[in-house]
Structure 1
Amino acid sequence: MGGKYETIALRREGDILELRIHHKGEAARWGLWGGLHRELGLAFAEIASDPDLRALILTGTGDRFCAEFDMEGEMPPPMSPAVWDVIFREGRSLLNNLLAIEVPVIAAVNGPAFIHAELAVLADIVLASDTAVFADKAHGVAGVVPGDGVHTIWPMLLGPNRGRYFLLTGQEIGAQEALALGIVGEVLPRDALLDRAWEHARAIAARPPLAMRYTRIALTTRLREQVARELGPGLMLEGMAVLAGQGN
């Protein structure tokens, strides 16, 4: 599975899979066209279809989870309904396929997560390094509608008022505050983070597999229902605003 992806490195030990996002082997950058936006949805779909998997670890590379865009990568073509249709399809695939994974997901947030941090905080167990910082720098403060799932996830985690403030201001939440707010479950030194994620994964993998699969399904029911209701309309609003802005 791993060789087909340019922005994802996969490491498997038995029935545990580690998925590490990266940019040419260094800290991940979010592509403006393709890249992680395309590949993560495909990888999540493959992982969701693996009957032998017991646990998934999601992490980043180096000292950042994903904190900036890839400005040197493939540029998107001029925006049009057909181009947005690709983004619309990939955006739904990204979250829906992550939530379709039926084994517990453990996130190890290894540093600042400013672009699509919601992918990490959707995990069942969220671990953060003491250098981690959470923010949404890709939408409100950039003049883009936060309609690709962040409008659902962050108000759910932070509460409606704090969630809206977070999305509109680009507010940064450090690791210790994230722990106090319940965004993450543990804060660790960065050099201990991945070992702790594997410790959790091995403990889960040692339990009855159907019990763990069904636990994941039970614990994500509300998330899947809310994302199913809100993701499509949110992406449509985001796309309409992007298309309308071209004439300005």
Structure 2
Amino acid sequence: MVKRARFAEYKDRYRNYRFELSEEGILLMQCHTDGDSLVWDWKAHDDMADAFADVAGDREIKVLIHTGSGANYNADWGRLPNGELPETPMYDAMPGVRGLRKLDEKAWYNRNLMWNVLDVDVPMISVVNGPCNIHSEVPLMGDIVLASQDAYFQDVSHFPRGQVPGDGQHVIWPFLVGHNRARYLLLTGKQLGAQEAKEWGAVAEVHPKDAVLDRAWELARELAKRPYLVLRYTRQLFTQNLKRAFLDELGHGLGRETYAQQEFFPFGGGMAPLDRAYDDEPWT
């Protein structure tokens, strides 16, 4: 459950999320790492859940634009800008039940992330400004999804690396594109290009990279002309069936993913590239 929040309280709270509020009440939420594309690490993962809780609790905004920075919407669990690798989560090596509880904490953050996005009570425009290969369910929960011509969607961090795709991918993709396409996408690690994603029904519009955010602002300014309660209640109307889908399957998927990670993390903590089998050596 989110709580009441105000822009002045959260606008500078997060290392990886930049906020900008327009006079019309349009909130821009931009993911980044040091001003460039977001590199996923555990802090970025956990803070995204909290950041969306603040956005969802802000009753002054009228429209949300959510996007990334730089070349990508987000970057892989790869090297950080300083060349270092993110934290290696060797949870099975932790004594006692510490590893299990750490995995449960990450599942808790992930569950909150999904619900906090769905609890945003104003129209949400997602701008996928480049490749999106981790947590694509976040932008896909937007009411209008725009993509740059060079964008693609890919679930790089789950099944291709030996994990169960249970943290929202298993809910959003079948909901949007159907079971057969979703299963193929998640099992193969397919890169689904922006135009094909539009043909599949996951994306509404595709634009040149330097024009896609401008298009989002154009749409947002038009939406923001509507009455306050119309905007909020329309978003609630549009998310109702998606909330039901997440309620039915999110906990189920997270439980299976968390349990299976007991096998994965002792070997796959290094997060190898997609073109390497999850149990190959060495991990670099």
TM-score by length of 2: 0.83
Gap regions ≥5 residues in structure 2: 1-9, 80-84, 93-98, 268-284
AA at the equivalent of 1:177: E
Deviations 1:114-170 (A, max 9, x none): 111111111000011111111111111111000101001111112111101100100
Please tell me whether Structure 1 or Structure 2 has the larger radius of gyration of its CA atoms. Answer: 2
2:89 is aligned to 76
The match for 1:239 among 258, 265, 279 is 258
Q: Does structure 1 residue 61 correspond to structure 2 residue 69?
A: yes
Structure 1: stretches of 5+ with no match in the other structure: none
1:34 and 1:74 in contact (8 A); partners too: no
Shift of 1:34: 2.3
Query: How far is the alpha carbon of 1:247 from its aligned partner?
Result: 6.5
Q: Which amino acid aligns with 1:187?
A: V
- 1:209-228 CA distance string (max 9 Å, x none): 11111110011101011101
DSSP 3-state at the match of 2:111: helix
Contact 2:28 2:66 (C-alpha < 8 Å) held by counterparts: yes
Q: What CA distance in whole angstroms lies between the structure 1 residues aligned with 2:122 and 2:18?
A: 19
Q: CA deviation at 1:246?
A: 5.4
Output one character per residue of 1:28-58: Cα deviation in whole Å (capped at 9) or x when no partner: 1111x222x1111111111111111100001
Q: Give, in whole Å, the separation in 2 of the partners of 1:10 and 1:148.
A: 25
> Could you tell me which residue of structure 2 aligns to residue 6 of structure 1?
15
Number of equivalenced pairs: 246
Give 3-state SS (helix, strand or coil) of 1:69's partner. coil
1:192 CA displacement: 0.7
Runs of 4+ aligned structure 1 residues displaced above 2 Å come to: 70-79, 244-248
SS at match of 1:115: coil
Q: How does 1:78-117 map to 2 (within 5 A)?
A: 78-79=91-92, 80-117=99-136
Cα contact 1:59–1:107 (8 A) shared by 2:
yes
Q: Which of 23, 26, 32 is residue 33 of structure 2 equivalent to?
A: 23
Task: Tell me the equivalent position of 2:53.
Answer: 45
Distance 2:27 2:202 in 1: 23
CA-based RMSD of the aligned residues comes to 1.4
What does 1:198-209 correspond to in 2, within 5 Å?
A: 198-209=217-228
2:278 aligns with none
Distance 1:217 1:74 in 2: 37
Of 124, 137, 146 in structure 2, the residue corresponding to residue 118 of structure 1 is 137
Matches for 1:120-139 after TM superposition, within 5 Å:
120-139=139-158
Tell me the alpha carbon deviations over residues 193-212 of structure 1, each in whole angstroms, 9 at most, x when there is no partner.
Answer: 11111111111111111111
- Say yes or no: does 1:150 pair with 2:169: yes
- For the residue of structure 1 that corresponds to 2:28, the secondary structure is strand
